[in-house]
Amino acid sequence: MKTIAILGSTGSIGTQTLEVAEANGDLRVAALAAGSNVELLERQIRKFHPKLAALASEEAAKDLRVRVRDLDVRIVSGMEGLIEVSVMPETDILVTAIVGMIGIRPTIVAIEAGKDIALANKETLVTAGHIIMPLAKEKNVRILPVDSEHSAVFQALNGENGKQVSRILLTASGGPFRGKTRKELENVQPEDALKHPNWAMGQKITIDSATLVNKGLEVMEAKWLFGAELEQIEVVVQPQSVIHSMVEFTDGAVMAQLGTPDMKLPIQYALYYPERRYLGGERLDFGSMGRLTFEEPDEETFLGLPLAFQAARDGGSMPTVFNAANECAVSRFLHKQIRFLDIYEILQACMEEHHVVENPAVEEILAAEQMTYEFIENRW
């Protein structure tokens, strides 16, 4: 019996994690944290009986306390609440399925408390990987990837010597706008960008997939997770999303992980690693699949990828600026305050403005985030 806690239990990854727990029947849920969806969190509490639950605002927490007063569960709120959920003594694995760099502090305290991390929250690793990875090593804690590409790489590395890796080949679907020109992207709306061809995900990551910022964040995520050099990481467009990523070794052998696009597989793999469990759902049918195709990413149109590589090369606090600018720009695009291509303009302007702080501490990361928000606030 393993015990888990989930940050972001009402989201796309959070709800699928609970589906995995329900299907297996041997995962105990100690604590859940969500943003503002009181109704869904209440249903989750009634079904999974956590001892602790958190919501973003104290107002929402008050509402929930009234709703679940018949149950033995404590309701907390805010960053303190997220932190309490992250360090619950009985938890073995913390699933970080919250969106954005708000996950930094909770992830760090969970590692300090000796929890293994099933990591979906890539923004945290992108901005604080230089703190998180050494800390995890020191505390003998495992960072288990939930992101499908990173899970694929993790699976391909099973039983291999990491020193004999020559390249990590991250696959990308290319998103809903693959093949479009800059001109054609001028007037695309959030509704268009939210139609991902292969995956149903939260809004922010779906927009990130359309801009290729998601793949850029994943390059940085892979760098930290697998201790790779940037030059070893390549992005390959695989529009069918059948190959979830690949690893090439020094002898030229390439190991790939294939499957239907279902996040429950990487979630379950992270929760039970190194064990594989039965997982329902469709299987690949190679006879009827037809073609698997590959392309190079269009880096002239989709600037999310080259800008991410630039931020990663600059290092220090620059990935934080890249990520914070993106979080802010995506939110504005979703609210129809800016146009699609403005996202790239904001990223570029914020990065040009920033003076890199080397090896930033948590406070410096949060300060760089704040400065980026203020810069955008004043200019757009």
11 binds ligand NAD (CB under 6 A): yes
Q: Which of 38, 56, 318, 347 binds ligand NAD (CB under 6 A)?
A: 56
Q: Which is nearer to Mg ion, 87 or 228 (CB)?
A: 228
Strand-pairing partners, residue 77, are: 55
Residue 12 makes contact with ligand NAD by CB under 6 A: yes
Residue 248 is a binding residue for Mg ion (CB under 5 A): no
Window contacting ligand NAD (CB under 6 A); options: 127-135, 187-195, 200-208, 294-302: 200-208
Does position 147 bind Mg ion by CB under 5 A?
yes
Binding mask 263-292 for ligand NAD (x = CB under 6 A): x-----------------------------
Query: From ligand NAD, Mg ion, none, which one binds at residue 372 (CB under 5 to 8 Å depending on kind)?
Result: none
Stretch that binds Mg ion, among 25-33, 112-120, 146-154, 322-330 (CB under 5 A): 146-154
Q: Residue 126, interface with ligand NAD (CB under 6 A)?
A: no
3-state secondary structure the chain: CEEEEEECCCCHHHHHHHHHHHHHCCEEEEEEECCCCHHHHHHHHHHHCCCEEEECCHHHHHHHHHHCCCCCCEEEEHHHHHHHHHCCCCCCEEEECCCCHHHHHHHHHHHHCCCEEEECCHHHHHHHHHHHHHHHHHCCCCEEECCHHHHHHHHHCCCCCHHHEEEEEEEECCCCCCCCCHHHHCCCCHHHHCCCCCCCCCHHHHHHHHHCHHHHHHHHHHHHHHCCCHHHEEEEECCCCCEEEEEEECCCCEEEEECCCCCHHHHHHHHHCCCCCCCCCCCCCHHHHCCCCCECCCCCCCCHHHHHHHHHHHCCCHHHHHHHHHHHHHHHHHCCCCCCCHHHHHHHHHHHHCCCCCCCCHHHHHHHHHHHHHHHHHHC
Interaction of residue 202 with ligand NAD, rule CB under 6 A: yes
Pick the piece of the chain touching Mg ion (CB under 5 A) from 148-156, 301-309, 314-322, 345-353: 148-156
Determine phi and psi for 145, rounding to 5 degrees: -70, 135
Q: Output the smallest distance, CB 250 to ligand NAD, in A.
A: 29
User: Toward ligand NAD, which CB reaches closer, 152 or 321?
Assistant: 152
- Asked if 221 touches Mg ion (CB under 5 A), the answer is no
| Residue nearest ligand NAD, Cβ-based | 11
185 binds, among Mg ion, ligand NAD, none (CB under 5 to 8 A by kind): none
User: Which positions from 13 through 72 interact with Mg ion, judged by CB under 5 A?
Assistant: none
Angstrom distance (rounded) from CA 89 to CA 2: 13
Return the closest-CA partner of residue 121 out of 137, 135, 132: 132
Nearer to ligand NAD, 198 or 252 (CB): 198
The nearest distance, CB 155 to ligand NAD, in angstroms, is: 15
Closer CB to ligand NAD, residue 14 or residue 316? 14
Contact call for residue 178 and ligand NAD (CB under 6 A): no
User: Residue 298 interacts with Mg ion (CB under 5 A)?
Assistant: no
Residue of 92, 167, 192, 199 interacting with ligand NAD (CB under 6 A): 199
Select from 5-13, 306-314, 319-327, 346-354 the region that touches ligand NAD (CB under 6 A). 5-13
Q: Closest residue to Mg ion, Cβ-based?
A: 147
The pairing of strands 2-7 and 243-249 is: unpaired
Site string for ligand NAD, 93-122 (x = CB under 6 A): ----xxx--x-----------------xxx
For ligand NAD, which is the closer residue by CB, 280 or 287? Answer: 280
Sheet containing 254-258: order of strands: 233-237, 165-172, 243-249, 254-258
Residues found near ligand NAD in the complex (CB under 6 A): 8-14, 33-35, 37, 56, 82, 97-99, 102, 120-123, 147, 199, 201-202, 204-205, 263
Residues found near Mg ion in the complex (CB under 5 A): 147-149
